Amino acid sequence: MESGLTAGFERLLATDQRIEPRDWMPEAYRATLIRQIAQHAHSEIIGMQPEGNWIGRAPSLRRKAILIAKVQDEAGHGLYLYSACETLGVQRADLLDLLHSGQQKYSSIFNYPTLSWADIGAIGWLVDGAAITNQVALCHCSYGPYARAMVRICKEESFHQRQGFDLLSTLAHGTPAQRAMAQDAVDRWWWPSLMMFGPPDDASPHSAQSMAWRIKRHSNDELRQKFVDIVVPQAAAAGLTLPDPELRWNEERGHYDIGAIDWAEFWHVVNGAGPCNRQRMERRTRAHEEGRWVREAAVAHAAKHGERSGAGQASRAGAAA
Amino acid sequence: MSRDWPLWEVFVRSRRGLSHIHAGSVHAPDAQMALRNARDLYTRRQEGVSIWVVPSAAVTASSPDEKDPFFAPAADKAYRHPTFYDIPSEVQHL
């Protein structure tokens, strides 16, 4: 029985078809997806904090409106991903508990502080740029709900990256002080952005299995290279430099070479000792606790008024079909 | 007993003349909140002119595991398709 199920699953993968929620799947495939999608969802939600930090201090109404829209998108991306994760048989409240207790992680990039307004540009251009490179690949991953969430997210991320580039480029062509602020932000965000693709291929223990399951379609190093090749000319167009003296075009490979990434720093931050790890978690758990009365009030209201209006609504929709 | 609000499936009509299409799902305590949450989540960029929300528990689905027998009756009825029939090339408008 089990071997027949496995064969069916393998056949779907081999013909590049999608696995859907009610299909049989190996428990390890399910567990890997839950871990990955939950971490991705948590990253979107925690990612609201470094940018939300600047909403009240945006330099113009236009920039403020853009930043609010972007932060709202991040909340939406988190919700798409939590929904995708729940199709695997987990509950959202449990996923949030795992985040709050530190048993599930979020992307380390959000443990760096946003020190200046230019950081908002650097996040949009570099951090979201790196995220898009990863996420475009995930649009073709083998699990249907995850791939569909990624398609929606990628459409929206494009605005995020462009507004970031526009913001940084505007500063880079401004006063000397603005220019210096833009360059400083790029200097601080460049290396952490490259780390977002994860450890090098020879030190990435789960990669081979994820590739075999077609959850991952490209290796960490391939995606990192792709991102570097895209971003280097963009930096030149914005009049900004990237903080890597070894960065140069390699004619033979047809790619840019980069210097060595400081993986000790990466693991340091992953393991909880980054500049903002504690602050991010404190703020997340506080927001969750402080919202408790709202969740309870909504349930009480639904219990009091719900059934009547709920039923009426359903029959009207049915009649309209 | 779930600690989450009930789950609702969201269907969005992107513009007049098209049918509602499944967009995703939301949690909400009641139908009205489900509609509002769905609006905020799935139509931030004018993706819709109408939304339905349906309790996920109310959906009855065929199982993918039963795929072959369940959909098999349609497999051997090629004569339901117009391409099944050979028509002389000089015959027009058929």
Query: In chain A, which residues touch B (CB < 8 A)?
Result: 20, 22-24, 69, 72-73, 76, 79-80, 83, 86, 91-94, 148-149, 152, 156, 295, 298-299, 301-302, 305-306, 309-310, 313-314, 317
B41 C-beta neighbours (distance < 10 Å), count: 19
Nearest CB to A22; choose among B4, B54, B64 = B64
Buried residues in A154-165 as b, exposed as e (16+ CB within 10 A): eebbebbbebbb
Report pLDDT for A321. 42
* Residue keyed to tokens 């430099």: A241
- ipTM of predicted complex: 0.86
| pLDDT number for residue B73 | 80
Q: Which residues of B fall within a CB distance of 8 Å from A308? A: none
**Low pLDDT (below 50) residues in chain A:** 309-321
CA distance A139 to A185: 30
State the best of B25, B35, B37, B39 to mutate against chain A, taking most chain A CBs within 10 Å: B25
CB contact under 8 A, A305 and B30: yes
- Considering CB atoms only, which of A156, A295, A310 is closest to B30? A310
Rounded to the nearest angstrom, the minimum Cα separation between A227 and chain B is: 27
- The span from the CA of A192 to the CA of A269, in Å, is 10
Angstrom distance (rounded) from CA A183 to CA A119: 10
DSSP assignment of A214-237: TS--S-HHHHHHHHHHHHHHHHHH
Q: What is the DSSP letter of A33?
A: H
Cα of A214 to nearest chain B Cα, Å: 20
- Using CB atoms, pick whichever of B29, B35, B44 lies closest to residue A302: B29
- Produce one character per residue of A88-123: b if its CB has 16 or more CB atoms within 10 Å, e if not: bebbbeebbebbeeeebbbbbbbbbebebbbbbbbb
Cα B2 vs. chain centroid, distance in angstroms?
A: 26
Which residue in B3, B41, B61 is closest to A22 by CB distance?
B61
Low-confidence ranges of chain B (pLDDT < 50): none
**Whether A24 and B65 lie within 8 Å, measured CB to CB:** yes
What does the pLDDT look like over A167-186, one tens digit per residue?
A: 999 999 999 999 999 999 99
Q: What is the pLDDT of residue B61?
A: 87
d(CA B86, CA B79): 11
Distance from CA of B45 to the nearest CA of A (A): 9
Query: Are B26 and B37 a contacting pair, CB within 8 Å?
Result: yes
| Residue in A156, A306, A317 nearest the CB of B30 | A306
Task: Tell me the per-residue pLDDT of A32-58, one tens digit each, with 9 for 90 and over.
Answer: 999 999 999 999 999 999 999 999 999
Indicate the pTM of the whole model.
Answer: 0.91
